[in-house]
Chain A
Amino acid sequence: MKQVSQALTKNSSLILITIELILVSFSLFESVLTWILLIVACAAVIRGAIHFNFHKHLPSIRTLNLLAILSALGLIYSGMSLGLLIGMVNLLVLACALKLMQVRTQKDIYQLIISLFFLIGCGFIFNQSIVYSLFYCAMCLLLLLSLACHHAPNIRLKSQFKRVFTLSLQAAPIGILLFLVLPQLPPLWQTPKSKSMETGLAEQITPGDIASLSQSSELAFRATFIGTVPVSSERYWRAIVMEDFDGKTWKIHPYRKQLRNQQLRANQEFQPKLTGTYWDYQVIAEPTHQNWLFGLDLATPNGNASQVEIFQSNEFQLISHQKLVSQYQYKVRSYPQALSTQPFSQLDQQLNLSVPKNGNPLTRQWINELRTQYADNQEFIQAVLAHFTTNSFIYTLKPALMYSDPIDKFLFENQAGFCSHYASALAFSLRLGGIPARIVTGYQGGELATDAQTSYISVYQYDAHAWVEIWQPNSGWLRIDPTALVSPDRINLGLREAMAEEGSFLSDSPFALARMIDVAWLNNIRLLLADMDYNWSRWILGFNKQHQQELFKSILGKLTPDRMSLLGLGITTIITLLLTLFFIPHWLENRLDKTQRYYQQAIKLLNNKQLGRKNWQGPIELANQVNQRYSVEIAEPFATLTKLYVRLVYQSSNITTQGQLNDKQCHKMMRKALAQLKAELARLN
């Protein structure tokens, strides 16, 4: 054993495993606890020190046991707040790190490699983008490589890599086939929310929040349109409606939440009146760890699956029953004119007129004056809006901070801000004037890409926007975007154009590709990447049960049980065929010739009867041993076998003396002797 462990510490497979563990666990750094990452680093340092001969001894088992107990306690303590899944992932990383410190035998290496494969699988729970998928594929390759290195430590790394790569390529068709046909199961566990993952829209805004969001060029969602696509200035993707205002912060009204919970319990939902033209489209939302979904204007879930999974709230929000922990695909139909025809309840009226009792005195005074001047609602609204157009308001992503009476400061002092400043100021002003108004946040615009059949819109986090909806008895809900008055470019051309002069578009990330739109080829690359990502989400990540059914349908025509079983049979055959194609040459190569086969069979038979052949014994010595240990009845046929084996394998085959048996006769005799041996051994029982 000591020999083995010495050989183990030397070979390169362990250092590969170490690299692997570091890369994989650091790719999960968002979910893995820092102290566990530290233990991983420690394990890596120990392995590195041993590999490069700085140190010669592994930590003792006693030390490791102590460390294991302590970290288990630590994990239990911190795992309480983590939830089951993340806790388990942490446990896995921890176990791998401790195992790495302890690896002494062959068995340890296998355990470690299998755990690491599992860990890579866990990685897909958290990261699914193309880049991560490629990364995890590379990690799988690396793991296989380390396995190969473990088995043949003296073959050069390059040729090992070639071999592993070829084998993986050969396995790829089977993998693809299995991906296409294996049942697409829903997740077995609920992926819990991680605190560090809250990106996307916030459930409340204090003007200032969206500025930071605008700076992110991450994808928010993509929408694929069937048929016509609305123009950019019409693309208001509603997400969250905020009706509760305390003078500074807008948030979702608690009544609405209560109402929603009641409706959910009663299994009811709001049924909007649907009128006018509509757009059909499909949205693939990036994971937000929230329930909010995005839709243009008044949107309704379309298609069976989406109708079951999505809840329509009274303020026309689409809410998913499940949190969006991974990419989520749903179908929607939007009715741009339907907003104006929805019913307006007492509750709506009450919520959308409430203003805080105090604060922002200047605004209150100004509205009072305006209201006495313009009794008519329409005129009053125009007058309020005129304030934005006649004064020199500036659209900026770097507004001054406004802590107290923010709306007063914004309207009359700074006159510079971004969408939520404008929306907040307008909604507050209109409410003061007795006009029901609320803030809607979501996204505006998005980048349109069209290929042969479909056109899709990519909406990024920097497209986040906030605007106002007011209610008027004659026109129903009406969207007013004060930002559009101040900075029409923001709406018509997007944030990038609007910020061209100020230069603050994505100024936090100077190398973001989205900043480089002027460089044609860079922009092409960006669009190409977006396209790839779109197709990846749509075809790979979005491949669900439904798609699978469609695929089967396109192959089989109709899905009858007979045809399905035929398909299953066909696929099994194909996989078997592929495997056979791979294994047959190996098998043929390794297939022993008759002489070897008979002889090895005999040895196996005897070994089953506790012969205990040492694997370095030669044939004659073995025959002697058999002779000593067993009765003549057994020893004799084996002696014959050995004689023939030696004759066939070691003696010169050119001797053609009379009386010499030819190979065929020898084999026949061997077979006979083997049968005799078998019979005798059977009698022994």
Chain B
Amino acid sequence: MQIQLNQAIEKTCQVLIGKQQQVKLALTCLLANGHLLIEDLPGMGKTTLSHTLAKVLGLQYSRIQFTSDLLPADMLGISIFDNKEQNFRFHPGPIFNQLVLADEINRASPKTQSALLEAMEEGQVSLDGETRALPSPFFVIGTQNPSHQSGTYPLPESQLDRFLMRIQLGYPDVEAEKLMLKNQISSLEHQIQPIMSVEQFQQAQTLAQQVHSSEPLVDYILRLVTFSRESQQFANPLSPRATKAILAAAKAWAYLSNRDYLIPEDIQAILPAVAEHRLRSASSDFSLTGSLSQLLLESIDPIAA
């Protein structure tokens, strides 16, 4: 199973050159059954990543481009009167897919945003007094532009918390970009075949959560979380939901790394992605806040008993 997953990573990396770490994190997120938020400037490959992942994992895929006039109904679906059958028939919206790419999520109005986020949290959609289950597995990969770009509604903290991870793609290095220009990647993108079935992926999800977490390791997570709450450098400390997210993501990461137990490095690898968007600095002095999750990591010794 892990071999297939690693193949999936490899395949994706052929499309998204030089982004091994981010691809692995993205797959980790899906493996931990969490939603992913990709934040970056336009044109960095956000859409490509999610599209490729969907293809590789053989998931039904749809893409919703969020705009400021997008309405919840455009996303969830609508009941239309069928003249033939003389009753209303529900036309499911693009959200009824296993992997939904919510592109530029912060361009939509808060109303639409919260409709999506509710669907993410509940795994179901309530329309016209009827509850409709979303397919399983159900993932949302949200992409957003950095909030200082114009025409954006930044997501509130409570909604950011729903995303298991937030990753940034960043510019590729020169070598990777050169390679990208040489190869005809866009054609490659269409040739991608699914590596595994949806059932296999779900099985992998179950197995990933069986990764052993020893007591010293759980203590390490707790020390990290407690530090964020006790230190006065964090205005928004980590919630219990964040604690659960850290453990789940770390397990998925360890599973992807072919291990059946957790080591501190797993935590350290996923923590920036899991914690950064949930933390907020208490200090208004931006110059000294490099990365809050890095600060958090550097404050705790994983080895000390």
Contacts and interface: CB of A to CB of B under 8 A. Distances in A.
Contacts of A2: 288
A616 B263 CA distance: 13
Contacts of B216: 649-650
Contacts of A651: 212, 214, 260-261
B263 A646 contact: yes
A620 interface: yes
B263 A6 contact: no
A7 B265 contact: no
Contacts of B283: 6
A620 to B, nearest CB: 5
B288 A3 contact: yes
Interface residues of B, number: 26
A10 B233 CA distance: 11
A615 B301 contact: yes
Nearest to A614: B298
Contacts of A186: none
Contacts of B217: 649-650
Interface stretch (A173-181, A262-270, A595-603): A595-603
Given A600-B303, A650-B217, A651-B214, A10 B297 contact: no
B233 A619 contact: no
Nearest to B231: A7
B72 interface: no
B149 interface: no
A618 B263 contact: yes
B137 interface: no
Contacts of A620: 263, 265
Interface in B195-218: 212, 214, 216-217
A652 B305 contact: no
A7 B232 contact: yes
B298 A618 contact: no
A7 B233 contact: yes
B302 interface: yes
A651 B302 CA distance: 15
Interface string A599-625: 110010000000000111111110000
Nearest to B261: A651
A592 B301 contact: no
A153 B212 CA distance: 34
B175 interface: no
Contacts of B299: 616
Interface string B243-275: 000000000000000001111110010000000
A545 B3 CA distance: 84
Interface string A112-154: 0000000000000000000000000000000000000000011
B235 interface: no
Contacts of A593: 305
Nearest to B217: A650
Contacts of B303: 596, 599-600, 603, 617-619
B230 to A, nearest CB: 4
B261 A616 contact: no
A483 B237 CA distance: 82
Contacts of B300: 616
A621 B303 CA distance: 12
Interface string B276-305: 000000010000100000000111111111
B263 A619 contact: yes
A685 to B, nearest CB: 26
B131 to A, nearest CB: 40
A592 B233 CA distance: 31
Given A6-B283, A603-B303, A652 B212 contact: yes
B230 A618 contact: no
A52 to B, nearest CB: 16
B114 to A, nearest CB: 35
A551 B270 CA distance: 69
B261 A618 contact: no
B247 to A, nearest CB: 14
A10 B232 contact: yes
Contacts of A621: 265, 268
A228 B212 CA distance: 87
Contacts of A618: 263-265, 268, 302-303
A646 B262 CA distance: 9
Nearest to B224: A616
A10 B231 CA distance: 11
A257 B261 CA distance: 94
B166 to A, nearest CB: 22
B21 to A, nearest CB: 15
B288 A650 contact: no
Interface in A145-168: 153-154
A569 B265 CA distance: 53
A618 B305 CA distance: 13
A650 B261 contact: yes
A48 B230 CA distance: 23
Contacts of A7: 231-233
Nearest to A600: B303
A650 B264 CA distance: 9
Given A10-B232, A649-B216, A619 B301 contact: no
Contacts of B231: 7
A599 B230 CA distance: 29
A404 B230 CA distance: 78
A620 B212 CA distance: 17
A192 B305 CA distance: 55
A154 B229 CA distance: 10
Interface in A641-662: 646, 649-652
B214 A616 contact: no
Contacts of A614: 298
A159 to B, nearest CB: 14
A27 to B, nearest CB: 33
Contact of B260 (A10, A617, A619, A652): A652
B261 to A, nearest CB: 4
Nearest to B212: A652
A337 to B, nearest CB: 79
B301 A616 contact: yes
A596 B302 CA distance: 12
Nearest to B297: A616
Nearest to B298: A616
Interface string B46-66: 000000000000000000000
A503 B230 CA distance: 64
B141 to A, nearest CB: 29
Nearest to B289: A3
A188 B261 CA distance: 66
A618 B283 CA distance: 28
A348 to B, nearest CB: 80
A599 B260 CA distance: 22
Nearest to B305: A596
A614 B268 CA distance: 14
A11 to B, nearest CB: 8
Contacts of A650: 212, 214, 216-217, 261-263
A650 B299 CA distance: 21
Contacts of B265: 618-621
Best-buried of A3, A603, A650 by chain B (most CB within 10 Å): A650
Contacts of A3: 233, 288
B212 to A, nearest CB: 4
The 6 closest A-B CB pairs, nearest first, are A618-B264, A652-B212, A154-B230, A618-B265, A651-B261, A615-B301
19 contacts: A6-B232, A153-B232, A154-B230, A596-B303, A600-B303, A616-B268, A616-B297, A616-B300, A618-B263, A618-B264, A618-B302, A619-B263, A619-B265, A619-B303, A620-B265, A621-B265, A650-B216, A650-B261, A652-B260
Given A616-B299, A619-B303, A650-B261, 20 more contacts: A3-B288, A6-B232, A6-B283, A7-B232, A7-B233, A10-B232, A153-B232, A596-B303, A614-B298, A615-B301, A617-B302, A617-B303, A618-B302, A619-B264, A619-B265, A619-B302, A650-B212, A650-B262, A651-B212, A651-B260
